[in-house]
Chains A and B, each alone.
Chain A
Amino acid sequence: MLRIEGLTVGTDSADLVLDVDLELAPGETLCLVGESGCGKSQTCLAAMGLTAHPVKRKSGAVRFFDTELTALGEHEFSDIRGRDLAMIFQDASAALNPVKRVGDQVAEVLCVHRGLSRREAMARAVELFEMVGIPQPPRRVRAYPHELSGGMCQRVMIAMALACRPRLIIADEATTALDVTTQAQILRLLKSLQAETGAAMLFVTHDLGVVAEIADRVAVMYSGRIVELADADALFTAPQHPYTQGLLACRLHVSSTAPARLDAIEGTVPTPASRPQGCAFRMRCLRASETCHRLPALAPMGTGQLVACHFPGGAA
């Protein structure tokens, strides 16, 4: 339903996202994982047509069902964006309007995109609040964002995103700022709502635990490119790219003990302006050789995943 082809996003001086291809089927959840600055958020913003100056989409196509989104004018795009696509951001308290009651903000979406009257829209807003698990909905629709906790604000954002029954939800670090107990509730909520509506979800996160909770498929990004694309199970049990293996090796999980000295990946992510020729990971990679000065293509492995590495596989 959503197909991103050859997407390149950047400023005049540097590319932030390079030649990204992604596909999403109805009802599917694809997680986009990577460290800060790897281009995962820019990929989402570009897919939604929301890149802000000086960042712009340089090439590539974004197709939603039969519509070529990148060919649309701003007016038609915003129509689809409100109705069929929805985006949930990390910081809900910043995304909500602080001087407007939260119920009005949700109702506004319905008035604009569904043509409901204000009264109908408010009634629907109360139902939506109920659906996302906000207690006492008739009272809470009258609250201002500052009167609600972070978790409640995030639920309002989700209610707003779901108001028009979108076919695609893009969630950018939607649970990162929340406490674990709230995060667990929100993830459960998103999954059950997805099962109900059959929406597809593109979920951006840096947390592999969240990936394990929610993903059907996973795309790992490094310095603007997808380096590994796999089913969630395959990614955790048999990661092929050395970067994915490194990420999994140095994570700390409360359910298990790690070796006293962690297998940290040395060095840091290169900035887009100083990205090396060829494989961007080669400066930090133990397997790197002369070959890695050539850019590895994202190629299928026997295990069913796509990997961009000259020396994939091996010990995890």
Chain B
Amino acid sequence: MSGGELVLTDIVRLYGGGWFGRHAPVRAVDGVSLRLEPGKTLGIVGESGSGKSTLGRIAAGIEVPTSGRVLLNGKPYAPMGSAAWRRERASIQVIWQDPSRALDPRMPIGGQIEEAMAAHRMLDRAGRLARVGELLELVGLGGLGHRYVHQLSGGQQQRAVIARALSLAPQIVVCDEAVSALDVSVQAQIINLLNDLKARFAISYLFISHDLGVVRHISDSVAVMREGRIVETGDAQAVFSAPRHPYTKALLAAVPAATPAERRAREALSRMETA
């Protein structure tokens, strides 16, 4: 596995519009250009309705933009639904927010990981089974391949989803709110796991989240989205420690304080400004 490069140029995605254009269409994504560098993590932050999930689906090739270009390692995606398109899916995987819905409740998790590899005609059966064992070990689920979804905790389920995504040796993994539903202590475990895997296999991540703290921690660079557009982009540490766009500033100011002392300092400051 090695990281791929993903370049999005002038992506626009319109929804609706009604018959004969009686309603103006919703501009879910409105002219976005981004570059995900090989082996790096690009964080996308924004509030609900900002278009970040739509952008993630377009980047993963499972939704077609109204206009604009998506290039994976310099090549555009094959037409959606074609055999070539299906083959391409192995190189770009998605991890969603809710692992219990991403996994099949009627099949043990080991079987689901093997099935993904079988669908892409990887290895022979014995080789796949050995690989399943390795992958489960890698994500911290060693020996639990026979378990069903309901026999795993939320964190373990997300680990299984990660193992299944990795089984196809992807170059890029799109994480759409992948740790948002997890409890903080488990969230930290999964973030550590994602970072370990990135270091080991040089995977590129497109990390979509509304949680600014998580994005700051995991990202190399970051893009702030609002109403389908990117309002600010740059190095993650720079954007969060010295935001330039007013919207980024407003977003950061709305994040709850880290401690009561920080809150009081912030309140005192805002009183001074209004006085």
| Interface residue tally for chain A (C-beta within 8 Å) | 41
In the A-B complex, the 9 residue pairs with the smallest Cβ-Cβ separation, listed nearest first, are A209-B256, A264-B188, A252-B213, A250-B188, A35-B183, A265-B185, A179-B47, A254-B212, A184-B254
Q: Which of B58-66, B109-117, B165-173, B189-197 contacts A (4 or more CB under 8 A)?
A: B189-197
Among residues 47 to 75 in chain B, which have CB atoms less than 8 Å away from a CB atom of chain A? 47-48
List the interface of chain B (C-beta within 8 A of A): 47-48, 153-156, 183-189, 191-192, 195, 210-214, 216-217, 237, 240, 250-263
Asked if residues B216 and A254 are in contact (CB atoms below 8 Å), the reply is yes
The residue of chain A having its C-beta at the shortest distance from the C-beta of B199 within the complex is A260
**CA separation between A207 and B187, bound complex, in Å?**
13
**CA separation between A107 and B135, bound complex, in Å?**
58
Asked if residues B217 and A268 are in contact (CB atoms below 8 Å), the reply is no
**CA separation between A255 and B216, bound complex, in Å?**
9
Asked if residues A237 and B188 are in contact (CB atoms below 8 Å), the reply is no
**Given A206-B183, A215-B260, A237-B259, A254–B213 Cβ distance below 8 Å?**
yes
**CA separation between A233 and B264, bound complex, in Å?**
11
**Given A36-B183, A250-B185, A265-B185, A258–B255 Cβ distance below 8 Å?**
no
Asked if residues B257 and A213 are in contact (CB atoms below 8 Å), the reply is yes
Among residues 163 to 182 in chain A, which have CB atoms less than 8 Å away from a CB atom of chain B? 179-181
Write out the residue numbers on chain A whose beta carbons fall within 8 Å of the beta carbon of B216: 252, 254, 257
15 A-B Cβ contacts within 8 A? A36-B154, A36-B183, A180-B47, A187-B256, A208-B184, A210-B256, A213-B263, A250-B188, A256-B258, A257-B217, A261-B195, A262-B191, A262-B217, A264-B188, A265-B185
Write out the residue numbers on chain A whose beta carbons fall within 8 Å of the beta carbon of B210: 179-180
Asked if residues A35 and B185 are in contact (CB atoms below 8 Å), the reply is yes
| A66: Cβ under 8 A from any B Cβ | no
Write out the residue numbers on chain A whose beta carbons fall within 8 Å of the beta carbon of B252: 254-255
Write out the residue numbers on chain A whose beta carbons fall within 8 Å of the beta carbon of B184: 35, 206, 208, 247, 250-251
The residue of chain A having its C-beta at the shortest distance from the C-beta of B153 within the complex is A268
Write out the residue numbers on chain A whose beta carbons fall within 8 Å of the beta carbon of B263: 212-213
**CA separation between A262 and B187, bound complex, in Å?**
10
The residue of chain B having its C-beta at the shortest distance from the C-beta of A235 within the complex is B260
Asked if residues A253 and B213 are in contact (CB atoms below 8 Å), the reply is yes
Selected contact of A247 from candidates B48, B154, B156, B185, CB within 8 Å: B185
Write out the residue numbers on chain B whose beta carbons fall within 8 Å of the beta carbon of A193: none
The residue of chain B having its C-beta at the shortest distance from the C-beta of A181 within the complex is B254
Asked if residues A213 and B256 are in contact (CB atoms below 8 Å), the reply is yes
**CA separation between A207 and B184, bound complex, in Å?**
9
List the interface of chain A (C-beta within 8 A of B): 35-36, 150, 179-181, 183-184, 187, 206-210, 212-213, 215, 232-233, 236-237, 246-247, 250-258, 260-266, 268-269
Asked if residues A236 and B261 are in contact (CB atoms below 8 Å), the reply is yes
With A36-B154, A252-B188 known, 9 other A-B pairs at CB within 8 A are A180-B210, A212-B262, A215-B260, A233-B261, A251-B184, A252-B211, A254-B216, A255-B252, A262-B191
Query: Which applies to chain A's interface (DSSP): helix, strand, loop or mixed?
Result: loop
The residue of chain A having its C-beta at the shortest distance from the C-beta of B214 within the complex is A252
**How many whole Å from A76's CB to the nearest CB in chain B?**
38
**CA separation between A181 and B195, bound complex, in Å?**
29
The A/B interface has a contact count, at CB < 8 Å, of 113
Write out the residue numbers on chain B whose beta carbons fall within 8 Å of the beta carbon of A264: 185-186, 188-189, 191-192
Selected contact of A268 from candidates B47, B155, B212, B240, CB within 8 Å: B155
Write out the residue numbers on chain B whose beta carbons fall within 8 Å of the beta carbon of A36: 154, 183
**CA separation between A213 and B217, bound complex, in Å?**
22
Selected contact of B254 from candidates A183, A206, A251, A257, CB within 8 Å: A183
**Given A35-B184, A250-B188, A258–B259 Cβ distance below 8 Å?**
no
**How many whole Å from A115's CB to the nearest CB in chain B?**
40
Selected contact of A263 from candidates B154, B155, B188, B261, CB within 8 Å: B188
Asked if residues A181 and B250 are in contact (CB atoms below 8 Å), the reply is yes
Asked if residues B185 and A209 are in contact (CB atoms below 8 Å), the reply is no
Write out the residue numbers on chain B whose beta carbons fall within 8 Å of the beta carbon of A212: 256-260, 262-263
Write out the residue numbers on chain B whose beta carbons fall within 8 Å of the beta carbon of A254: 212-213, 216, 240, 252, 255
**Given A212-B262, A213-B263, A255-B255, A265–B156 Cβ distance below 8 Å?**
no
**CA separation between A255 and B243, bound complex, in Å?**
12
Write out the residue numbers on chain A whose beta carbons fall within 8 Å of the beta carbon of B254: 180-181, 183-184
The residue of chain B having its C-beta at the shortest distance from the C-beta of A233 within the complex is B260
**CA separation between A247 and B188, bound complex, in Å?**
10
**CA separation between A232 and B263, bound complex, in Å?**
12
**How many whole Å from B247's CB to the nearest CB in chain A?**
10
**CA separation between A247 and B44, bound complex, in Å?**
25
Asked if residues A179 and B217 are in contact (CB atoms below 8 Å), the reply is no
Write out the residue numbers on chain B whose beta carbons fall within 8 Å of the beta carbon of A187: 256
Selected contact of B213 from candidates A35, A184, A232, A251, CB within 8 Å: A251
**Given A233-B260, A253-B213, A254-B255, A265–B237 Cβ distance below 8 Å?**
no
Give the most central of A180, A181, A265: most B CB within 10 Å: A180
**CA separation between A265 and B211, bound complex, in Å?**
20
